[in-house]
Structure 1
Amino acid sequence: MNHHQHPFTFPPTTSTILPPTTTFFSSTPLPTNSSFQNFVLKSGDQPEYIHPYLIKSSHSSLSFSHASFLSNSALCYQIFTPDLTLSASNQNNPNLTHVVSSFDDLSLTLDIQPTLRFFLVKGSPYITSQILQPAKLSIKTIHAILELVPNSSKTRFRIALNNGQTWVLYTSTSINLTHDLSTITSDDYCGIIRIAVLPNSNSGSGSQFESVLDRFSTCYPVSGQAVFSQPFCVVYKWETKGWGDLLMLANPLHIRLLDNCSVSSVSVLDDFKYKSIDGDLVGVVGDSWVLKPDPVSITWHSVKGVKTESCLEIIEALVKDVNELDSSAIQTTSSYFFGKLVGRAARFALIAEEVGCLDVIPKVRKYLKETIEPWLDGTFAGNGFLYEKTWGGLVTKQGVTDSGADFGFGMYNDHHFHIGYFLYGIAVLAKIDPVWGRKYRSKAYALMADFMTLGKGSNSMYTRLRCFDLWKLHSWASGLTEFADGRNQESTSEAVNAYYSAALMGLAYGDTHLVATGSLLTSLEIHAAKTWWHVKEGDSIYNADFTSENRVVGVLWNNKRDSGLWFAPAEWRECRLGIQVLPLLPITEALFSDIEFTKQLVEWALPALGREGVGEGWKGFVYALEGVYEKDVAVEKIRGLSGYDDGNSLSNLLWWVFSRGDENEGTSAHCWFGHYCH
Structure 2
Amino acid sequence: MIPRSNILAQLATILVALGLVHAVPPVRRFNQASGIQKPESTINHVTNTGTLLTSLEMAGYVTSLPFVTSTATSPFPKLKTPLPEAAPQVSQKVPLALTTSIHEIAVDPFKPVATGAAPSQFTTRNQHPVPRLNIQQQSSPLQTNKFYANFYLGDQSFGSFVHPYGLTWSKGGGPMSSWGMAIDHIDYNEKVYGPTEKTLPGQPVQYIINPVGIQDLVLSAAELGSGTTLQTSKLDTFSVNAILSPSNVSNTASITFPMVQGMGFVTAVYKNLTPWIETGHAILSVTPKPFADKSIFKYSVALNNGNTWLVYATPSIQQDPKFTLSSLGSITGPAGFSGVIQIAKISSDKSSEALYDASAGVYATSAALTGNVASTNGSYTITWTKAGATCKPLTMWALPHHVKSLSNSGIKIYRNITLTTTTKGNATAVVGDAWTLVETNLPTSMGFAPWDPDSKMSNTNFPSSVIAKISTAAISELSEDISAQSNLNSMYYSGKALAKFASIIYVAKDILKNDTLVTQGLTKLEKAFSLFSTNQQQFPLVYDNAWGGLVSSAGYINNALLADFGNTAYNDHHFHYSYFIYTAAVIGYLDPKWLNANKDWVNSLVRDASNPSKLDNVYPVFRMFDWYHGHSWAHGLFPAGDSKDEESSSEDTNFAYALKMWGHVIGDSSMEARGNLMLSVLARSLQSYFLYEDDNDVMPPQFIGNKVSGILFENKIDHTTYFGSALEYIQGIHMLPILPHSALIRTRKFVQEEWERFFAEGAVDPASKVQGGWRGILYANLALYDPATSYAFFSQPNFNASYLDGGASLTWYLAYAAGRGGTAPSGCSHV
Calculate the TM-score normalised by the size of structure 2: 0.75
* Structure 2 unmatched ranges of 5 or more: 1-111, 172-178, 195-204, 246-252, 452-457
| 1:278 is the counterpart of 2:278 | no
Distance in 2 separating the partners of 1:504 and 1:162: 56
Distance in 2 separating the partners of 1:3 and 1:384: 22
| 1:41 is the counterpart of 2:153 | yes
Task: Report deviation, 1:219.
Answer: 2.8
Q: Aligned letter for 2:417?
A: F
With 274-283 and 23-32 compared, the bigger mean Cα shift is at 23-32
Distance in 2 separating the partners of 1:613 and 1:370: 39
Q: Which residue of 1 aligns with 2:208?
A: 76
Sort the Cα spacing of 1:610 and 1:595 in 2 relative to 1 into closer, same or farther, 3 A: closer
| 1:85 is the counterpart of 2:235 | no
Task: Report deviation, 1:362.
Answer: 0.9
Which deviations, in whole Å up to 9, do the C-alpha atoms of 1:506-531 show, x marking residues without a partner? 11111112212222223222322212
| 1:12 is the counterpart of 2:123 | yes
Sort the Cα spacing of 1:86 and 1:651 in 2 relative to 1 into closer, same or farther, 3 A: same
Distance in 2 separating the partners of 1:538 and 1:25: 47
Partner-residue secondary structure (3-state), 2:606: helix
- Contact 1:105–1:226 at 8 Å: present in 2 too? no
Q: Which residue of 1 aligns with 2:182?
A: 63
Partner-residue secondary structure (3-state), 1:524: helix
Q: Which residue of 2 aligns with 1:300?
A: 448
| Correspondent of 1:424 among 582, 590, 595 | 582
| Correspondent of 1:411 among 549, 566, 569 | 569
Distance in 2 separating the partners of 1:295 and 1:250: 22
Give % identity: 25
Q: Aligned letter for 1:159?
A: V
- Contact 1:574–1:608 at 8 Å: present in 2 too? no
Q: Which residue of 2 aligns with 1:255?
A: 403
Q: Which residue of 1 aligns with 2:198?
A: none
Task: Report deviation, 1:611.
Answer: 8.2
- Contact 1:347–1:652 at 8 Å: present in 2 too? yes
Q: Which residue of 1 aligns with 2:266?
A: 127
Q: Which residue of 2 aligns with 1:136?
A: 274
Which deviations, in whole Å up to 9, do the C-alpha atoms of 1:236-278 show, x marking residues without a partner? 1011231321111110110111122xxx421110100001220
Matches within 5 A, 1:182-581: 182-188=329-335, 189-200=337-348, 205-206=349-350, 208-230=351-373, 232-241=378-387, 242=389, 243-260=391-408, 264-276=409-421, 277-293=423-439, 294-297=441-444, 298-303=446-451, 304-309=458-463, 310-328=466-484, 330=486, 332-355=488-511, 356-380=513-537, 382-401=538-557, 402-456=560-614, 460-548=617-705, 550-569=706-725, 572-581=726-735
Sort the Cα spacing of 1:47 and 1:350 in 2 relative to 1 into closer, same or farther, 3 A: same
Q: Which residue of 2 aligns with 1:104?
A: 236
Q: Which residue of 2 aligns with 1:155?
A: 297
Q: Which residue of 1 aligns with 2:783?
A: 627
Partner-residue secondary structure (3-state), 1:56: strand
- Contact 2:482–2:501 at 8 Å: present in 1 too? no
Q: Which residue of 1 aligns with 2:106?
A: none
Distance in 2 separating the partners of 1:610 and 1:578: 14
Sort the Cα spacing of 1:271 and 1:403 in 2 relative to 1 into closer, same or farther, 3 A: same
Q: Which residue of 2 aligns with 1:24?
A: 135
Partner-residue secondary structure (3-state), 1:85: strand
| 1:599 is the counterpart of 2:757 | no
Q: Aligned letter for 2:154?
A: K
- Contact 2:127–2:546 at 8 Å: present in 1 too? no
Distance in 1 separating the partners of 2:286 and 2:340: 19
Partner-residue secondary structure (3-state), 2:722: coil
Task: Report deviation, 1:230.
Answer: 4.2
Distance in 2 separating the partners of 1:48 and 1:34: 9
Partner-residue secondary structure (3-state), 1:567: coil
Q: Aligned letter for 1:250?
A: A
Q: Which residue of 2 aligns with 1:676?
A: none
With 611-620 and 367-376 compared, the bigger mean Cα shift is at 611-620
Distance in 1 separating the partners of 2:406 and 2:740: 27
Which deviations, in whole Å up to 9, do the C-alpha atoms of 1:46-98 show, x marking residues without a partner? 01111111110145411101123112300012112111111123333x23222
| Correspondent of 2:813 among 642, 653, 663 | 653
Distance in 2 separating the partners of 1:226 and 1:324: 46
Distance in 2 separating the partners of 1:519 and 1:139: 47
Distance in 1 separating the partners of 2:806 and 2:164: 41
Task: Report deviation, 1:141.
Answer: 0.9
Task: Report deviation, 1:9.
Answer: 4.1
Sort the Cα spacing of 1:612 and 1:497 in 2 relative to 1 into closer, same or farther, 3 A: closer
Sort the Cα spacing of 1:633 and 1:214 in 2 relative to 1 into closer, same or farther, 3 A: same
- Contact 1:44–1:58 at 8 Å: present in 2 too? no
- Contact 2:125–2:542 at 8 Å: present in 1 too? no
Task: Report deviation, 1:150.
Answer: 0.2
With 329-338 and 479-488 compared, the bigger mean Cα shift is at 329-338
Distance in 1 separating the partners of 2:150 and 2:117: 36
State the Cα RMSD in Å.
2.4
Structure 1: which 4+ aligned runs deviate by more than 4 Å? 1-7, 608-613, 662-668
Partner-residue secondary structure (3-state), 1:76: strand
Distance in 2 separating the partners of 1:245 and 1:2: 35
Sort the Cα spacing of 1:552 and 1:3 in 2 relative to 1 into closer, same or farther, 3 A: closer
Distance in 1 separating the partners of 2:720 and 2:756: 19
Which deviations, in whole Å up to 9, do the C-alpha atoms of 1:107-140 show, x marking residues without a partner? 222222332111212112311111133x211111
Sort the Cα spacing of 1:103 and 1:378 in 2 relative to 1 into closer, same or farther, 3 A: closer
Distance in 2 separating the partners of 1:287 and 1:169: 22
Q: Aligned letter for 2:448?
A: W
- Contact 2:647–2:710 at 8 Å: present in 1 too? yes
Q: Aligned letter for 2:323?
A: L
Which deviations, in whole Å up to 9, do the C-alpha atoms of 1:618-650 show, x marking residues without a partner? 112222232233232222222345120111111
Calculate the TM-score normalised by the size of structure 1: 0.91
Partner-residue secondary structure (3-state), 2:584: helix
Distance in 1 separating the partners of 2:741 and 2:113: 28
Distance in 1 separating the partners of 2:682 and 2:331: 44
* Structure 1 unmatched ranges of 5 or more: 669-678
Partner-residue secondary structure (3-state), 2:147: coil
